[in-house]
């Protein structure tokens, strides 16, 4: 990435150091440094440490004597078993753990440290205390101990077998899903379609219409480069592809190739160039001058770069833009991991992927898991090893575990974008061969965030509304997390969303005026797309055309690359 001549270097240096947690890598030296920093601060603040120790001791005495009324949060699934409230041994163990956790957090909060040091200390302390939970041990988990007795020890043997399998075949992390019931192309990614164009980086899928008529303006979905495309086409009940076709949309989806070491040079410029070519194919096949573009997660970053490039060239082929759970303008406070990332860790991550050629999908999955260890690590340790159960079969988790690699150059480009913040500094930095300026992008935009999203926090997603030059922008806040917000079909009884037709500069102001609505955001988006996709015409009888004939059946071949 090159800075254009009119840039202000000082502002970029103050920006957040990472676009998303998966970009930063992991530096063991920084974790060691965080421990050393906490020890130094402890020595400088002996009174604070002594006060915390005194509180722990006082609480412990009450707990041992049965005089404590401390109880777990009702939402904490770890302590649902009745033994935690009825059995004195387990109850005291739980209370001791919760007391220690609370006082350690208070101790860290009161230490004299900088904001960055506090964030690192809090993150490290949280990981330690989560690991210390009594539920993570056989002796401390009443349900697991009961299961051993009831099964005559077989649950323990099955747990040891599961642990061995994960150590040898899953990189040491507990398996999150039983993969056996699922097969891509058989019961996942089953929508009928054809690959009508491909290059070494992507396959372009055109889906066969399911209605007699279709809107003239097609839609192209750009999935994230760190996952396989079929999140958009899981089972028919939660298939975004099926939903769009039911809305009479001509639907195209990119299937990215899983890069290997020899593709280390693939960067943002190459990905954007491939999307330009794909858009030309779509325009030729559909005879439409315009294309609706929808980008999800990191695919939205690529789509935004593409839109900026077209705007800079005076090319108005993009009819509308949709950004789904995508952050273009991150801030340090958006996530815990974002707060602790330093320049050193960024360079370590950059050098690591450059040396390896790719950032492996397993490494990315591990990093995401440790962002939510109770839900994504310890929960499965208990289920798989202590209880001796297989993880559940779940299509979304199957897809989530079917991860892909990130080429070194694209990883480096993402790091530069996180450092320089090109989208929030219009015209200041060059990406993919042009000075990025989303204020020149005037296509109507639809932006979606997830209320409980820990990967792309909704307030960070909301900032996209302020970057575009579009007169018509809609923001919808789904009530779910990252994946659940994206895959949110009609008919989900738990689905909720928040809407506000006004788009103020501040996310909190928007939220204060937003109204909660029952249901999925998909129908809202579907109507929004229909209103912007032209008149109806007879649906094509075949995929492709004479210039770009169908090559082979969807879901294609790249989706099967390991």
Distance CA 554, CA 310 (A): 29
Token readout for 255 is: 């299937």
Three-state secondary-structure class, residue 481: coil
Distance CA 355, CA 357 (A): 6
Per the annotation, the verdict on 461 as an active-site residue is no
Distance CA 84, CA 201 (A): 53
Distance CA 136, CA 389 (A): 15
Distance CA 219, CA 322 (A): 10
Distance CA 191, CA 205 (A): 10
DSSP single-letter state for residue 185 = T
Three-state secondary-structure class, residue 505: coil
Q: Is the peptide bond before 488 cis (omega within 30 degrees of 0)?
A: no
Largest CA distance in the chain: 83
Distance CA 337, CA 537 (A): 49
Q: CB under 8 Å to 380, separation ≥6 — which residues?
A: 174, 175, 176, 391
Distance CA 497, CA 518 (A): 7
Give CA torsion, residues 152, 154, 157, 159, to 10 deg. Answer: -120
CA distances from 19 to 22, 72, 172, 270, 421 (A): 8, 35, 27, 19, 9
Write the burial class of residue 172 (CB in 10 Å: 0-12 exposed, 13-18 middle, 19+ buried). Answer: exposed
Q: Which of 297, 326, 461, 543 is catalytic?
A: 297
Give CA torsion, residues 243, 179, 22, 459, to 10 deg. Answer: 40
Token readout for 468 is: 């575009």
C-beta of residue 227 within 8 angstroms of C-beta of residue 400: yes
Please enumerate, as own/partner, the contacts of 359-362 that have beta carbons within 8 Å and a separation of 24 or more: 359/22, 359/25, 359/405, 359/406, 359/408, 359/411, 360/405, 361/226, 361/258, 361/403, 361/404, 361/405, 361/406, 362/171, 362/403
Residues catalogued as catalytic? 297
């Amino acid at each position: 990435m090159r800075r254009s001549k009119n840039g202000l270097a000082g502002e970029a240096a103050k920006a957040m150091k990472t676009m998303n947690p998966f970009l930063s890598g992991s530096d063991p030296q920084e974790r060691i440094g965080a421990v050393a920093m906490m020890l130094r601060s402890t020595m400088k603040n002996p009174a604070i440490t002594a006060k915390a120790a005194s509180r722990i001791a006082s609480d412990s005495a009450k707990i041992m004597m049965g005089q404590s009324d401390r109880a777990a949060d009702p939402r904490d699934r770890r302590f649902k078993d009745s033994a935690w409230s009825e059995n004195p041994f387990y109850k005291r163990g739980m209370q001791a753990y919760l007391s220690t956790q609370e006082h350690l957090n208070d101790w860290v909060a009161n230490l004299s440290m900088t904001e960055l040091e506090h964030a690192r200390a809090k993150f490290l302390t949280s990981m330690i205390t989560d690991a210390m939970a009594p539920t993570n041990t056989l002796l401390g988990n009443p349900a697991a101990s009961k299961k051993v007795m009831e099964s005559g020890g077989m649950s323990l043997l099955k747990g040891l077998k599961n642990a061995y399998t994960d150590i040898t075949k899953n990189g040491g992390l507990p398996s999150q899903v039983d993969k056996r019931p699922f097969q891509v192309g058989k019961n996942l990614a089953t929508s009928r379609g054809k690959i009508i164009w491909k290059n070494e980086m992507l396959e372009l899928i055109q889906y066969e219409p399911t209605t007699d008529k279709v809107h003239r303006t097609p839609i192209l979905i750009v999935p994230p480069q760190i996952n396989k495309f079929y999140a958009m086409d899981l089972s028919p009940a939660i298939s975004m592809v099926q939903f769009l076709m039911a809305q009479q949309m001509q639907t195209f989806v990119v299937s990215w190739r899983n890069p290997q070491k020899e593709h280390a040079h693939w960067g943002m410029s190459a990905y954007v160039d491939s999307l330009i070519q794909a858009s030309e194919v779509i325009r030729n096949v559909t005879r439409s001058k315009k294309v609706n573009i929808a980008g999800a997660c990191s695919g939205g970053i690529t789509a935004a770069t593409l839109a900026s490039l077209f705007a800079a060239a005076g090319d108005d082929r993009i009819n509308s833009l949709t950004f789904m759970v995508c952050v273009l303008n991150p801030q340090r406070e958006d996530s815990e991991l974002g707060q602790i990332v330093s320049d050193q860790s960024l360079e370590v991550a950059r050098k690591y992927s450059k040396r390896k050629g790719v950032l492996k999908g397993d490494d990315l999955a591990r990093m995401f898991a440790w962002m939510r260890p109770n839900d994504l690590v310890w929960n499965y340790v208990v289920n798989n090893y202590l209880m001796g159960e297989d993880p559940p079969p779940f299509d979304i988790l199957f897809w989530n575990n079917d991860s892909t690699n990130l080429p070194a150059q694209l990883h480096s480009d993402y790091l530069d974008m996180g450092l320089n913040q090109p989208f929030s500094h219009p015209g200041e930095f060059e990406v993919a061969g042009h000075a990025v300026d989303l204020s020149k992008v005037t296509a109507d935009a639809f932006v979606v965030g997830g209320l409980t999203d820990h990967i792309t926090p909704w307030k960070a997603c909301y900032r996209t509304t302020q970057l575009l030059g579009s007169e018509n922008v809609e923001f919808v806040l789904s009530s779910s997390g990252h994946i659940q917000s994206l895959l949110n079909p009609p008919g989900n009884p738990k689905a909720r969303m928040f809407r506000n037709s006004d788009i103020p500069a501040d996310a909190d102001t928007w939220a204060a005026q937003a109204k909660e609505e029952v249901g999925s955001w998909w129908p809202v988006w579907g109507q929004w797309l229909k209103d912007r996709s032209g008149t109806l015409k007879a649906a094509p009888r075949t995929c492709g055309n004479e210039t770009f004939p169908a090559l082979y059946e969807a879901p294609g071949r790249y989706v099967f690359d390991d």
